[in-house]
Chains A and B, each alone.
Chain A
Amino acid sequence: MASKTILDELKRTQILELLEQGKRIDGRALDEPRELTIEINAIPKANGSAKLRLGDTEVLCGVKIQPDRPFPDMGDKGIFMCTAELLPLSHPTVETGPPQAPVIELARVVDRGIRESHMVDVSQLVIEKDKSVVGVFADIVVIDYDGNLFDACSYAATAALLTSKTPKWTMVDDKITLVDGEESPLPTTTIPVSVTMGKIGKYIVVDPNGDEWESMDARVTITSDSDGNICALQKGGSDGFTLDEIVQCGELSVRIGAQIREKLKAAQQGAQ
């Protein structure tokens, strides 16, 4: 986020020295994500919501579900969309104004992970084919920043979607009409989980915190689904990975992803 200062350089040296002894700056194992806490239904006016902390990173996702026009070539499918925004109160360097490239990337990577997993079953979100469908909008805001927004935002959106309630609409005299009191869970098919790994020197760390985020050379975010298949990936940062590292990261993402998925399921069951 901020430009590199002398403090960042000292911190990187310290982080690397610790990694050489197999340790991380906050005492975690290299493949250990930070503590995840999820508050379901934090915004009752939304159709689904989740306030989520990943270590000291805090994000909030609200899901709004409303009738919409289908995309021209997708008349038999509902709409799913996911956005992400950094609030100015989340970090001193965040400025208001149009989103910069890192935030656009964040929103698109989070959206892609959920979309490509086909989590939201859009084929069930049609009110009348080619005329009106149900739109599901998961909007995420970052409240407090301490690294790895990719995973925090992705988990918040997934948790909010898993606990969303869809109102029912029908066509009456060619008008979309809400059927009062009929709500059903949002149709979902799988639980996608992204796992972001940072490369610092020759070390790969899972879920980099803010200090590690500023120090890392490259990163990769890999999303896997409930079947243990990989459905989305994004590499970032100004260095590269070897073929072996990428394969290793793939395995790591499926293994750590399964642990996180259990926590998301627990949050979903706790909300019922």
Chain B
Amino acid sequence: MGGRDATMVLLDENGIRCDGRKIDEPRRIMIKAGGLKNADGSAYIEFGDNKILVGVFGPRDVHPKHMSDTDTGILRVRYHMEPFSVDERKRPAPSRREIEISKVIKEALEPAVMLEKFPRTAVDVFIEVLQADGGTRCAALTAASVALADAGIPMRDMVAAIASGKVADTVILDVNNEEDQAGQADMPIGYMPSLEKITLLQLDGVLTPEEYKKCVEVGVEGCKLVYDIQKKALNDKYFGKKGD
């Protein structure tokens, strides 16, 4: 939100954004379900220039044992960025930002996963950001939902995620890296479209109460677009052409 690069035009007079998109147009999203041999479930997502791989293991024994819960299964999420995923090399050890994102993604997925069916076990979700370009948490959450479904873990719904935001006093869908850096607000949203529940929501940047409401609404509509792509990915893998 620093507004550092004053020369960049985030929104031109025709309502076109810095990467050529319209205000309500998401970036290109490609999701592939499966792909990893050893993981119980996996997914790969390209969300604009983000490239993220997710592997799911479990339900399986909990180590260390004291973490296990006799009433329910537990979900563990690690969001991790590769050192080469960003412009300036990122130190490999988990940063405070990554720990926080791991926690919000875990809490966004928990309402969707029927963990109570697997007491004393853990479901581990490993998220590896191979290349980052703004909106990694949303792309990661979207892919993690597909990977959990691919692992055959019972779910109430999938969580689809996308960010809405504000640039040049205009509410937009799917904030990219430049818009995140130089824009006015960024609101990542995770949403379960069938259950109509928001499970991830964050905001930084200043919004009037009207813009706030619009941002949530635009984000929820965006999640429904993402949801269709998630379903298509699973459909392609399980009901698609042979040899895929």
B9 at the interface (CB under 8 A from A): no
The interface residues of chain B, by DSSP majority, are classed as: mixed
Q: Which residue of B lies closest to A219 (CB)?
A: B107
Count CB-based A-B contacts (< 8 Å).
109
Max chain A C-beta neighbours (<10 A), residue from B69, B97, B195, B197: B197
Of the four ranges (under 10, 10 to 19, 20 to 34, 35 or more), the interface on chain A belongs to 35 or more
Interface contact A231-B209, CB-CB below 8 Å:
no
Q: Which residues on the B side are within 8 Å of A208 (C-beta)?
A: none
Q: Which residue of A lies closest to B75 (CB)?
A: A238
Interface residues of B in 1-54 (CB under 8 A from A): 1-2, 4
Contact of A104 with B99 at beta-carbon distance under 8 Å, contacts A236-B107, A237-B107, A246-B216 already known: yes
Interface contact B205-A231, CB-CB below 8 Å:
yes
Contact of A101 with B198 at beta-carbon distance under 8 Å, contacts A229-B207, A229-B209, A230-B207 already known: no
B147 at the interface (CB under 8 A from A): no
User: Which of A115, A230, A236, A243 contacts B196, CB < 8 Å?
Assistant: A243
Contact of A238 with B207 at beta-carbon distance under 8 Å, contacts A102-B103, A104-B100, A230-B212 already known: no
Q: Which residue of B lies closest to A237 (CB)?
A: B107
Interface residues of A in 234-272 (CB under 8 A from B): 234-243, 246-247, 250-251, 254
Q: Which residues on the A side are within 8 Å of B96 (C-beta)?
A: 104, 107-108
Q: Which residues on the A side are within 8 Å of B202 (C-beta)?
A: 233-235
A54 at the interface (CB under 8 A from B): no
Q: Which residue of B lies closest to A115 (CB)?
A: B204
Interface residues of A in 208-233 (CB under 8 A from B): 218, 220, 222, 225, 228-233
B114 at the interface (CB under 8 A from A): no
Interface contact B213-A247, CB-CB below 8 Å:
yes
User: Can you report 23 residue pairs joining A to B where beta carbons are below 8 Å apart?
Assistant: A4-B71, A74-B4, A104-B99, A105-B104, A108-B97, A222-B203, A230-B212, A231-B204, A231-B206, A232-B203, A232-B204, A234-B104, A235-B104, A235-B201, A236-B103, A236-B104, A240-B199, A241-B197, A243-B196, A243-B217, A246-B201, A247-B216, A254-B209
